[in-house]
Chains A and B, each alone.
Chain A
């Protein structure tokens, strides 16, 4: 399928009058975390607004950002980048400057070049960013790109990404800067949040590498600078995070992503995710693309409640967690597993079935031994007052 035909097809999927929702690094990182999910790949690739789709399906997502967090995050980022990035450049040199080669003098306050990256549309901004990167590398001076735009082809369609900042060193070394508003207390931060930031930054590094390949003398650093509020203040603290591992994982998974055009081609003619269509039609359209639901989706995907309801309705064991699914071998539905455990189905020679039967027998025996106390406990519990939640 030629590119224009694909674009045409994706526009049909999205609905005739709907502008595509750009893919961001967070979405890409989430996509890479669940590469088997064709539903997410297609909807994200087509730029469908999944939040609106989830609402139209009757399972609205619970995502939202508190305006307090939003304001605080913006205020912190503005503070870090204030005065032409003086504070940011100081932190960067302090944390990452040691390895710089000759000709890499410390940045002088107020003399960092901050090019204007304004342009029309994401394509224009991406082109402007690429030009600014080329110029900065050729000029050999400290340059801070504030909110540059990078393009990365994902599953056959371009995604536009906007890192918080990219710094170009005089020796042509490019570094991604990620500014987050979770605190770094006593030089350590929440591991889960740092991990998410690293995965996100890895996507930027990948996108930057595409640009750097065409620029002489440019190198992209595999270490990114993570800037967070220090302790309980809003002073910035920085830490270097090596994202080589996340980068290779993300790259492999992005390559593995089923190509969107194949997914789109497999759909019945006339399928659309236009939220103006009736809910049943939408549900059928969504159902036509296979999903890979796991409870982790609840934190990362707007459609998760819809997919969870469907997974629960068919009794998929995966809805109870990936580890549960892994433990049960080839048995994929709750009915199958329970039938195997109770001896009404399954091949006793199958080690999973044998283990299940043994577990069921041991569990019954233990519960029977403890039955009197268990019954008392339940009776006691029933006597209590009902609580709304």
Chain B
């Protein structure tokens, strides 16, 4: 964390309100995102308890598992989830635009341009917290190797259709969320934390209710500071010992589990047993009524736990929409659209689900692309946002300057080209060495200059502009800084190049495990016990 964001936090403590960490929104927000608020059963891996999901803030779809240890009920939950999420994801698949991509021609080995489809928009999932992102990954992992009766008639506990497909999509979204700056799957706490500094630690910022209380000017009671509202959101309990603002999940509050949920599940179990034991139709009807009531009770309990979080996520989106989108966020969203389109193509081509572990080449590619994305994100955020750039200036990685003088010189060599020397004054303290390259944004494209020398007067230095001035002897109009102009130079590059080429997975050297096996992944073994 830079000293500037630390100061913002301290300021937030003093004022009792969150302070800006950004002046623009650094993540693309879809016009119609899908919000997903999941709850999980404590102590079980991948045993969902319930969820609110949907694209309309007023009518979330409530999904509930009345007995989390029952495989059939769990499958019914996942099938219902697939019914809601897959149509939303598929809804973006056919709205396409033409695009070009560089590919290597397999015969000639040359790079050629290929016409491909690019989806013009992509579905966006929003979860409350970072733990929610992990849960999406986990759900994806638990579902993508399931087999339906159609895929394999002999499978012991066939999954309802669409479950493996939803698993593949959730896996893709979970994986994409690890790419810095990507926006296919976002956590509300991360979004808010990126744009505002609160007067609490970043650990405490993981609590969506408390985080929002600092930021939202309409939260809390009249005259209450953000700090007080956050404290109440974190700790306040009603007369029954229940949190007034339930945790954003997927984990539930133990007090809720022990005091409300466990008795409700017991009641449901008893009703089910009684129904199974019923001897005649009349008794069965009565037990059926009790079973329905028990089920309704659980659904109400879960809905009451999740609804505040659901509203909080939408409120967070409102606040974020109040910020104008950063100019370069659209560029990153285009990459997300590529990612979505790519997975759509893989699903359509009938490729198998993502493997449990990536092979060496894929893993190296993912790491390299995340590193590139991280560097690109840092550069783009700084260029979009003076407050982020201030942090880079403080670190000596950028400087703003006023042009004092421009002296035209020409390069030596066969075809002399313009190499203007620009004298500038800056109050910043950039880390410049001999011939250090610096960049400025010229109509959205980077122009390079190199450091020449310091002048005697403090803060005055000379740069030599080296490109983007056209082919002629005279530099193109507007391509050379003018006297009096204020320019922000950066020491970091504005665009990121990818790393070196990696071999095809089939050519993985033995040092890295050799080529990956061709065998498809086997489904998880099913245990006798009722565990997913």
Q: Which residues of A contact B (CB under 8 A)?
A: 62, 64-73, 181-183, 185-186, 229, 231-235, 295-296, 298-299, 305, 315, 317, 319-321, 323-324, 327-328, 334, 337-338, 341, 355-356, 358-360, 362-363, 365-367, 369-370, 373-374, 376-378, 380-382, 384-389
Contact = CB atoms under 8 A, between A and B. Distances in A.
A232 to B, nearest CB: 5
A66 B394 contact: no
A328 to B, nearest CB: 7
Contacts of A359: 2-4, 6-7, 394
Given A68-B257, A72-B44, A232 B218 contact: no
| Residue of A185, A234, A296, A377 with most chain B CB atoms under a 10 A cut-off | A377
A381 B212 contact: no
Contacts of B3: 327, 355-356, 359
B311 to A, nearest CB: 5
Given A232-B532, A356-B3, A298 B203 contact: yes
Contact of A367 (B23, B213, B525): B23
B531 A232 contact: yes
B180 interface: no
18 contacts: A66-B42, A66-B257, A183-B45, A185-B141, A231-B524, A234-B529, A296-B203, A305-B235, A319-B200, A320-B9, A360-B7, A366-B387, A369-B23, A369-B386, A373-B323, A373-B324, A380-B322, A389-B244
Given A185-B45, A327-B1, A64 B254 contact: yes
Interface string B209-250: 100110011110000000000000101000000001100000
Contacts of A71: 43
A380 B216 CA distance: 11
Closest 5 CB pairs of A and B: A69-B43, A389-B245, A370-B23, A72-B43, A66-B42
B21 to A, nearest CB: 10
A341 B23 CA distance: 21
A234 B253 CA distance: 23
Contact of B387 (A296, A355, A370): A370
B8 interface: yes
B138 interface: yes
B255 interface: yes
Nearest to B247: A62
Given A315-B13, A319-B201, A370-B23, A389 B209 contact: yes
A209 B322 CA distance: 61
Given A362-B390, A363-B387, A382-B217, A66 B258 contact: yes
Given A66-B42, A71-B43, A376-B322, 13 more contacts: A68-B262, A186-B357, A232-B524, A320-B13, A363-B390, A366-B23, A366-B390, A370-B386, A377-B322, A378-B217, A380-B321, A384-B315, A389-B233
B312 interface: yes
A324 B9 contact: yes
Most B-side CB within 10 Å, residue of A66, A72, A317, A380: A66
Given A363-B8, A370-B23, A387 B212 contact: yes
Contacts of A362: 4, 390-391, 393-394
A380 B3 CA distance: 29
Interface string B172-209: 00000000000000000000000000011111100001
Contact of A377 (B138, B323, B524, B532): B323
Contacts, number: 194
Nearest to B9: A320
A296 B206 CA distance: 13
Contacts of B319: 381, 384
B4 A363 contact: yes
Interface in B154-173: none
A386 B219 contact: yes
Given A69-B42, A185-B45, A381-B319, A232 B6 contact: no
Contact of A388 (B45, B141, B311): B311
Nearest to A386: B218
A182 B233 CA distance: 28
A387 B311 contact: yes
A64 B212 contact: no
B24 interface: yes
A234 B525 CA distance: 11
A321 B202 contact: yes
A362 B357 CA distance: 46
Contacts of A321: 201-203
B70 to A, nearest CB: 14
Given A186-B357, A232-B45, A323 B1 contact: yes
Contact of A334 (B4, B13, B42, B218): B13
Contacts of B254: 64-66, 69
B424 to A, nearest CB: 18
A62 B252 CA distance: 12
B435 interface: no
Contact of A337 (B10, B43, B203): B10
A7 B506 CA distance: 69
Contacts of A67: 257-258, 262
B14 interface: yes
Contacts of A355: 3, 394
A373 B43 contact: no
A363 B262 CA distance: 51
Given A363-B390, A378-B217, A229 B45 contact: yes
A321 B41 CA distance: 31
Contacts of A317: 10
Nearest to B265: A68
Given A186-B141, A232-B531, A320-B13, A66 B7 contact: no
Nearest to A369: B386
B512 interface: no
B527 interface: yes
A382 B318 CA distance: 10
A376 B322 CA distance: 7
Interface in B491-532: 524-525, 527, 529, 531-532
A94 B255 CA distance: 40
B129 interface: no
B220 to A, nearest CB: 8
Contacts of B44: 68, 72
A362 to B, nearest CB: 4
Nearest to A322: B201
Contacts of A327: 1, 3, 6
Contacts of B475: none
Contacts of B252: 66
A300 B492 CA distance: 41
